[in-house]
């Protein structure tokens, strides 16, 4: 990626790639303080139209594969306070908390959204869906007519509490769990 950035920047700055340095979110011409190009401009210069017109492959991207010797696992805990109506048997979630340790979360808000979203999907399936089998034990396909729309009517909101301070020594980015 670095080499491609420098090639594109060299074309834009009319300089040799060896005379360029990548620092502070831009490519600078060594020894010339006022000649620099931000990475966003280099990305634009590598767009399909501009790159093909100058004979270089478009885009700034890199692909790499990583294999590790030892699997790491994320850990989590779910706690629920549930009230069950004695007459109907219908549960009502009063409080629900989730604690998790995923190692170093690259995007904590995304991780929390995935965890709470997974909870919502799991509770929806457990409380509002039904698997029906016929007398031979074969699953009977149904339709969505009897399934209530998504929503948390009568249930408390889940609260996710993340333990993000423990990085895994077995992953380059400190993540835990499957990639």
CA-based nearest residue to 17, from 127, 55, 8: 8
Q: Are residues 37 and 81 in the same domain?
A: no
Do 45 and 99 lie in a common domain?
no
For residue 56, count other CB atoms closer than 10 A to its CB.
15
Strands 91-101, 75-84: pairing kind: antiparallel
Query: Domain for residue 132, yes or no?
Result: yes
Q: What is the pLDDT of residue 156?
A: 61
pLDDT for the residue numbered 62: 83
Residues 82 and 112 grouped into a single domain: yes
- Residues 21 and 19: their CA atoms lie apart, in Å, by 7
Q: What is the CA radius of gyration of the chain?
A: 27
Residue 128 placed within a domain? yes
Give per-residue burial for 1-21: e unless 16+ CB within 10 Å, then b: eeebbbbbbbbbbebebeebe
Q: Are residues 45 and 86 in the same domain?
A: no
Asked if 43 and 79 sit in the same domain, the reply is no
List per-block mean pLDDT (blocks of 10 residues) for the chain, which spans 179 residues: 92 94 94 92 89 81 83 82 92 88 83 87 81 83 58 59 59 59
| Residues in Cβ contact with 25 at an 8 Å cutoff, skipping those fewer than 6 apart | 38, 39
Residues 50, 79 share a domain: no
Would 67 be classed as within a structural domain?
A: no
- Do 82 and 40 lie in one domain? The reply is no
For residue 117, give the CATH number of its domain: 3.30.365.10
- The total number of structural domains that make up the chain: 2
pLDDT for residue 175:
62
Range of the domain at 42: 2-54
């Amino acid at each position: 990626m670095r080499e491609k950035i420098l090639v594109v920047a060299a074309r834009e700055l009319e300089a040799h790639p060896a005379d360029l340095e990548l620092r502070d979110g831009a490519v600078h011409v060594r020894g010339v303080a006022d000649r620099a190009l931000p990475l966003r401009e280099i990305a634009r210069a590598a767009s399909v139209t501009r790159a093909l017109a100058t004979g270089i492959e478009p885009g700034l991207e890199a692909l790499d594969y990583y294999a590790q010797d030892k699997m790491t696992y994320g850990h989590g805990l779910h706690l629920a306070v549930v009230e069950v109506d004695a007459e109907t048997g219908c549960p009502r979630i009063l409080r629900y908390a989730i604690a998790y340790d995923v190692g170093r979360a690259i995007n904590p808000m995304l991780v929390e959204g995935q965890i709470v979203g997974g909870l919502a999907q799991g509770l929806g399936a457990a409380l509002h869906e039904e698997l029906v089998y016929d007398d031979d034990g074969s699953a009977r396909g149904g339709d969505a007519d009897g399934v209530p729309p998504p929503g948390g009517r009568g249930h408390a909101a889940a609260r996710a509490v993340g333990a993000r301070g423990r990085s895994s020594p077995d992953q380059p980015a400190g993540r835990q769990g499957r990639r």
